[in-house]
Chain A
Amino acid sequence: MTATKNATATSESFVHPALFYRGEEEYLDGTVPFIREGLKFGHPVAVAVPGANLALLREGLGMDAASVRFLDMTDAGRNPGRIIPRVLRAFADAHPQTHVRIIGEPIWPGRSSVEYPACVQHEALINPAFQGRDVTILCPYDAGRLAEEVLTDAYATHPVIVSGGGLRPSPSYAPGQVIAEYNRPFAAAPVAAELQHFGIDELPYVRHSAIARAAELGLSGVRLDDLALAVAELTTNSVVHGGGSGSLRIWAEESQLVCEVRDGGQLNDPLAGRRPASRDQRGGRGLLLVHTVVDLVRIHTGPEGTAIRFYLGR
């Protein structure tokens, strides 16, 4: 194993490197020394990666694995929009007095083309979300199996790249450009998906109607509660922040239920819904709640209005 000791040591308090690996050996070479060095310095270390790599790392770390917080990213980070508040900030905020190391792998072969824009935007948003924080977030990319376009985007979302046992600046770092580029219109909704317009008086009706339709499409139990909560927040946001009214439609796509809410407002804060809420904070949890309970959130916003689609497994 070729150790990449000090691979992420820089003078900046926040460090966000991409690690391109090919195969298990390169994966372990790029991650295990990073973890062990953190443990040696007494830094809290978390690993949020897909299950197979989680198992690989546990084995590679041996006894040291007991000192590391492990999360399966395919579960905790199924929706990329909740990774910053519920995975990364949750761990970093729990250790405010010391440097924190996190390995986060939000993009893996198998992420769908519908999920991918939200994944790239998440990677780009890590930079403003952690600016000035005493945190290192190392993001492995499976260079042997991911598309070239994905690797190109990783150069744009990470200010530094792990290379030759050290760090070098990314030649094409441009997170703001990436966020804008992936703010794309959605594919058309099915014609059969009934459009429901709502204002303040119709908020309960549109929620009840969405629950009934979702139940017809096979949603039940906690997932039906999740839909009700998400619909309540998005439709209320449209009334309060989106010009006073909006429209909703709901349909099924393969194994998922899709719900879309549109209104005339523009979402100007790209980190909206990605900041954890303090316990004494009265409001500001609406979009955070949606990100937390659903499997995917896609947003398209501009001067002409905002469309938000969320996906729930049936």
Chain B
Amino acid sequence: MRPQANASAAAPVTPGSALLLHPLADRAGWRAVGEITATTCPAWERTLGQLPLREETVCHLELSAVTFVDVAGASALAMAAQDLSTGRRIVVERPPTTLPRLLDMFWPDLSVIEVVAR
């Protein structure tokens, strides 16, 4: 199953803070643009909430245009990863450095998340 065209989501935007999520054109998953923080986390969580409903083994999250991820954003990702059925995994591509740092700090053994560094 590929991401649906209407899967883009945007959090209520505050000045200087926004998160846009678009389905990837060439593989299963989404590209995110902006910041993933407590303010924008609802949009991030809504998107991640679609993961259990999907069928592909690997979901890609392309985060090269994300400038910051706080612990709320990392937590939402870790929760989503723990809800995946056996054999499925998430590949997080080029996230800001805070994300792998937070994952190592609080979820060091969460092997279903694979991080491809910037």
Contact = CB atoms under 8 A, between A and B. Distances in A.
A200 interface: yes
Contacts of B106: 277, 279, 285, 289
A282 B17 CA distance: 22
A208 B16 contact: yes
B2 interface: no
A37 interface: no
Given A200-B39, A236-B37, A279-B106, A286 B98 contact: no
Contacts, number: 68
A292 B15 CA distance: 29
B14 interface: yes
Given A204-B37, A236-B37, A279-B107, A286 B16 contact: no
Given A277-B106, A283-B75, A289-B105, A225 B15 contact: no
A34 B97 CA distance: 42
Interface string B41-85: 000000000000000000000000000101110011011001000
B72 A283 contact: yes
A292 B97 CA distance: 16
A285 B36 CA distance: 16
A204 B17 contact: yes
B15 A201 contact: yes
Contacts of B110: 279
Contacts of A279: 78, 82, 106-107, 109-110
Interface string A267-300: 0000000000101101101100100100000000
B110 to A, nearest CB: 7
Given A279-B106, A279-B110, A289-B105, A203 B39 contact: yes
B101 interface: yes
B82 A285 contact: no
B15 A205 contact: yes
A277 to B, nearest CB: 6
A279 B110 CA distance: 9
Contacts of B109: 279
Contacts of B98: 225, 228-229
A203 B75 contact: no
A193 interface: no
A283 B76 CA distance: 9
Interface residues of A, number: 25
Contacts of A292: 105
A233 interface: yes
A174 interface: no
Nearest to A211: B68
B68 A232 contact: yes
A240 interface: yes
Interface in B7-55: 14-17, 35, 37-39
Nearest to A207: B68
Nearest to A199: B14
Contacts of A282: 75-76, 79
B79 A232 contact: no
A298 to B, nearest CB: 21
A225 B74 CA distance: 14
B63 to A, nearest CB: 15
Contact of A200 (B14, B71, B78, B82): B14
Given A200-B39, A229-B98, A285-B106, 4 more contacts: A280-B82, A283-B75, A286-B71, A289-B71
Interface of B: 14-17, 35, 37-39, 68, 70-72, 75-76, 78-79, 82, 97-98, 101-102, 105-107, 109-110
Interface of A: 200-205, 207-208, 222, 225, 228-229, 232-233, 236, 240, 277, 279-280, 282-283, 285-286, 289, 292
11 contacts: A200-B14, A201-B15, A205-B16, A222-B97, A222-B101, A229-B71, A232-B38, A233-B70, A236-B37, A279-B78, A280-B82
Ranked nearest first, the 9 interchain pairs of A and B with the lowest CB-CB distance are: A204-B17, A204-B16, A232-B70, A236-B38, A201-B14, A285-B71, A289-B71, A205-B16, A225-B98
